[in-house]
Each structure stands twice: as C-alpha cells, then as structure tokens.
A and B are shown apart, each in its own frame.
Chain A
C-alpha cells in the first residue's frame, strides 16, 4: 500500500486532471498487463503463425517459413474444417434454443410460485449451474452408456434404442443434452431477475382491461424480457463456441469426426498432429466468427460496457 502511495507522490505536482488520468492508468495496469501477456500476445502470435509453415513433425529447416495464405486455403477447401464450422453452428443453435426454452419455462414457473418453500425450488432447478463441465461429462458418460446407462435405458423404453456414442445424430444430441443441462440454469437465473423487475402495475392494468393470460404473456412479459433475452442468448452462443470439456470427454469429436466442433478440430490438429500453423489459421477464422457475434451483441445493446 505504501509503495503505491509513494509512486503516486511522484505525480502529485501535476494538475489534478493529469494526475487523475495517471492514476486511472496506473490502477488498470496490472490487470491490463496480465491480459496482454496471456491473451493479447497469444492472439497476435496466432495470427503470425497462421501464415507460417509450422508443423513440429517436419524437418526444422522449413519450420516457420512464410507460406502466405496456404493454411487458410487448406482450411477452406478441407471438408473436415467446413464440417466443423457447420457442426459448431448447429451445436450452438441447438444449445441456445433448447436452453432458452427450458430456461424460460422454468423461470416462469418459479416466478409464479407463491409459497414459502420457494427458495428450495429455485435452488434445485439452478443447482446444475454449479457443476463443472468435465464432471457433467463424466456423469453423462455413465448415464448414457449403451447398454447399461440409466437414461439411455429409459429412452430405449420409449422407442429410441440408439447407441449414443457410435451413432452419428445421437452423439450430437448427447453433447447438446449435456451442455444444456449445465447451461440452462444460467438462463433461468437471468430471466428470473428480469421477470422480477417487471412492475406489477402493468399486470394490474391488464387485469382491469380484462386481458387473458396469453395476452399478458405476449404483450407484457415477453417484451419486458427483450433486452435480458438478447444478453442471455449471446452469452449462451458464445459459451457454446467456448465449449470444450463436455465434447472432448463425451465423444472426443467422434464418431467419424461428426461432433468435431471448431475447438475440438483445432485442438486435435495442434496437439495430436502438431500442425500448429494450420491450427492457428483455424483459430483466426474462429476468432472472426466470434468477433461477428460480439459485434451483433454490441449493436443489440448499444451501450457502453464500462
């Protein structure tokens, strides 16, 4: 603490305005330095590597040779890469839409509950939120074993007798189910907060006007949730793009690379094939897709973040 104050004394003879500016930068510096070192620098390095021939399995002579956009051309013409883009988008879409529907239904039900034990219900529904993704994956690995898993057994009883790990579409459903299970409580919590901020007068006015439950829902509740919904959807989409452990543990991208999302594809290229250059070009493309999502988010919010 004293050290900080000593350093600040050095600038105390400046004008208050200047001093304030120095202080603000000084306070932010440790955070900024750490982020630049472990996020900013790696990203610039990734862009650099994406234009280089960097395969650790090759002779060192050609290592880091500049090869222009070869990696990008290879990515775009590569069927596996294109498939991973499609599957990432499908996965993100499914996770977000199903998660939102479950989140909305549970939030509405929790919000309309008017009993003392309300807290217990809130807590139970939101508990999956506390479980780490990897742990979720291990548990779902057991519950969906075919045969022998409890849930896969129940599902086979209602006529869907599939192997969740070796069949193409079920493996996608499996990672979606596991991701939604861990992710929907976040949407529930967000929407609950949104629902509780709707002023009661609106409903009272609607009651006087004789509006039906459905009308109240579509003309008051949903519009009031618009902005929080936008935030939650974007956060869920971006967390679907970040998703790694659940897919890695449950399917590892299989069967036949069907559930190989961008993240999994990139990771395999880098740490199984040691093709760092090509993997980096995939990273840059993923980054661009992410930037697009962030851009949409910012346009939706039209607000300053800090």
Chain B
C-alpha cells in the first residue's frame, strides 16, 4: 500500500502536465516579449531567449497606438458593464421575486438569447447601426455588448437574490420603504458577491470581444486591443516581440481580475453551473 505522502507526490506529478499546458503559452507571451528579433527568428526556436531587449515594450508604448487601444477597451467594457449591472439588478430581482407566467416566459427568452452566436445577428445589427449612424462609434459596440451581457448578469443576480429571504424586504416595506427602495437599500447591500460576479463576467465578455469590434469599428484610433493587435500583421515584417507584449497587456487586466477575485468568480459561476 502507498502511504498518504506518496499519494500526494503522485498526485502532484500527475498534475504537472496540466499545469505546464495551462501556463506555457502565458509564460511564452511574457518571455518572448523581451526576446530580441534575432532570437525570435532563430532555428531551432529558443524556449529561454539568450538575448533580451526592451525595444518591443518601448515601441508598443511609443510608436504603436497600443495604449489608445487599451483605453478604448476599458471605455467600452466598463460602460457596457455599468449599464448591464443596473439593468440586470432590476431584471434579476424581478426573476427572483415576481414569479409568474409572463416573467418566466421572458426568462426563457433571455436564456435563448444567451445561446445565440454573435455571428448570426451581426448582419442585421450592422445595418441597424448604420441607420443609427453609430458605425465607427463606440456606442455601437457598447450597445451590442450590453445585450449579450444582460442575460447572464441578470441570471447571476437572480440566483443571488434567491438566497435572500423575502421577509427582509417585507419588513422594510412595512417600515414604509417602497419595493424598489427595499431592493436598493436592503437586498442589494447583502449580495456584494453577486454584484462582483456579474461585473466580472460582463466586463470580461466585453473586453475579450473580437467580432463586434472588428465589424463595427474600422478606424485605427477607435479599435479595441483585441482587434488592434491584428493590424500588426498587415505590415512587411511581423515583430513578434511587440505582438507578445501587446497580447500580455491585453490579457493582463483579466488575469489580474482573475487572480484577485478567483474565489468570487468560481463561486458565482461554478455554483451557478451546478444549480442551473
């Protein structure tokens, strides 16, 4: 029989391939952004570069509009997240507390719209936004992100509201609060984890989007980071270290958020998946 200690060692050794697979692309993003051009073109390729340079990082911030793209991403992701949060709190509350036929019908419709691939609606949406005159305007992507965030965010809010006993807001209403007042003053302060989970899920959805930004925005200074990096490939030579540096910048906010709020995320999304 193997003892507990040996078991743990075997367990960790068995996990190593998974950790390697998960971390290697992230490691290479980081390391190759500091590698010299000569190193990147070397054959056989080097896992650990022998020549380091800060050129890529300097170029990314000086000659490339990467900072502008990051700010654009931040603008569209946070504005859509804010709109979504407000709207999803109201909708999630309704889904949780006002169960009737109509509301569950709408819930069903929300659920369906969550499964719709963006590619499907992109043609009519493009035509609609052209009519509104918001092509090449951040409003177009903000609007598109918002409606793709709402179903999931309101479902997260709903499952958190479900855990709070109705007697709380009934008490508040007896004390003279309106139902909406009770929602914002009594119920909402009790589920910061729910708000956090909806914000993170919505923000990462918008930050990671490619197709809407690629279709609705075409001017260089309006692009978001995910789409902007693609323009690096149009030139005569591809500077991979600059691409890796920009990729790292584009992934960093979500990686940081993930590291900081991993528990809330896993609780919100993982538990959600179990209860669904």
A residues neighboring B (CB under 8 Å): 1, 4-5, 8, 20-21, 23-25, 27-28, 30-32, 34-35, 37-43, 45-46, 49, 102, 105-106, 109-110, 112-115, 121-136, 138-140, 142-143, 147-151, 153, 181, 185-186, 189-190, 192-194, 197, 228, 231-232, 235, 238, 241-242, 244-245, 248-249, 262-263, 266-267, 270-271, 276, 279-280, 283, 286-287, 290-291, 293-294, 301, 303-306
B28-A139 in contact (CB<8A): yes
Contact A130 B125, CB 8 Å, known A28-B103, A244-B210, A306-B110: no
- Note all chain B residues with C-beta closer than 8 A to A128: 22, 25-26
Other than the given A30-B91, A126-B258, A132-B204, 4 more pairs (CB < 8 A) read A5-B181, A46-B124, A150-B47, A248-B210
A4-B179 Cα distance, complex, nearest whole Å? 11
Q: Which residues of A contact B41 (CB under 8 A)?
A: 148
Residues of B within 8 A of A114 (CB): 4, 8
Instruction: Enumerate 25 A-B pairs (CB-CB under 8 Å) in ascending A order.
Output: A24-B94, A25-B102, A28-B91, A31-B150, A38-B143, A39-B148, A42-B123, A43-B116, A43-B124, A102-B18, A105-B18, A109-B18, A130-B251, A132-B204, A134-B226, A135-B226, A142-B28, A142-B32, A150-B28, A153-B44, A194-B274, A245-B210, A290-B117, A293-B115, A306-B104
Question: Which residues of B sit under 8 angstroms from A241, Cβ to Cβ?
Answer: 117
Q: Does B276 contact A (CB under 8 A)?
A: yes
Which residues of A sit under 8 angstroms from B164, Cβ to Cβ? none
Chain A positions within 8 Å of B226 at CB level:
132, 134-135, 245
Asked whether, in the complex, the Cβ of A45 is within 8 Å of the Cβ of B124, the reply is yes
Docked CA distance A15–B258 (Å): 47
On chain B, the residues within 8 Å of A136 by CB distance are 25
B91 touches A27 (CB 8 A): yes
Chain B residue numbers with a CB within 8 Å of A248 are 210-211, 214
From the candidates A8, A30, A267, name the one contacting B122 in the complex (CB within 8 A): A267
Bound complex: CA A75 to CA B259 (Å): 46
A270 contacts across to B, CB distance below 8 A: 122-123
- CA gap between A13 and B42 in the complex, in Å: 79
Interface size bracket, B side = 35 or more
Interchain CB contact (< 8 A) of B12 among A113, A129, A147: A113
C-alpha gap A220/B110 in the complex (Å):
35
The smallest beta-carbon distance between A133 and chain B, in angstroms, is 6
10 shortest A-B CB distances, which residue pairs? A306-B107, A132-B208, A24-B98, A245-B210, A45-B124, A42-B124, A130-B258, A193-B270, A31-B91, A134-B226
Rounded to whole angstroms, the CA-CA distance of A129 and B269 in the bound complex is 12
Interchain CA distance A142-B47 in the complex, whole Å: 12
- Whether A192 and B147, one on each chain, are in contact in the complex, defined by CB atoms closer than 8 angstroms, is no
Is A42 within 8 A of B28, CB to CB?
no
Question: Contacts of B204 on A, CB cut-off 8 Å?
Answer: 130, 132
Give CA–CA (A278, B196) in the complex, Å: 42
Interface SS majority for chain A: helix
Evaluate whether A197 and B208 lie within 8 angstroms (CB atoms) in the complex, with A109-B18, A238-B115, A290-B116 already known: no
CB–CB B116/A134 < 8 A: no
A39 touches B87 (CB 8 A): no
Interface string of B28-46 (1 = CB under 8 A from A): 1100100000001111110
Q: Is the CB of B247 within 8 A of A138?
A: yes
Q: What is the CB-to-nearest-CB distance from B263 to chain A, in angstroms, rounded to a whole number?
A: 9
**Is residue B187 within 8 Å, beta carbon to beta carbon, of the partner chain?**
no
Tell me whether A42 and B119 are in contact (CB under 8 A).
Answer: no
CA distance A244 to B230 in the complex (A): 14
Q: How far is the CA of A102 from the CA of B119 in the complex (A)?
A: 28
A70-B175 Cα distance, complex, nearest whole Å: 65
**B95 interface residue per 8 A CB criterion:** yes
The contact string, 1 if C-beta is below 8 Å from chain A, for chain B 210-224, is: 110011000000000
Given contacts A24-B100, A31-B87, A133-B208, contact A38 B15 (CB under 8 A): no
Tell me whether B197 is interfacial, beta carbon within 8 Å. no
Taking a contact as CB atoms under 8 Å apart, the answer to whether A8 and B178 are in contact is: yes
Q: B202 interface residue, CB < 8 Å from A?
A: no
- Report Cα–Cα, A69/B227, bound state, in Å: 36
CB neighbours (8 Å) of A293 from chain B are 115
State the CA gap A238–B97 with chains docked (Å). Answer: 29
Complex CA distance for A109 and B26, rounded to whole angstroms: 22
Whether A231 lies near B273 (C-beta < 8 A) is yes
Residues A232 and B208 in contact, CB atoms below 8 Å apart: no
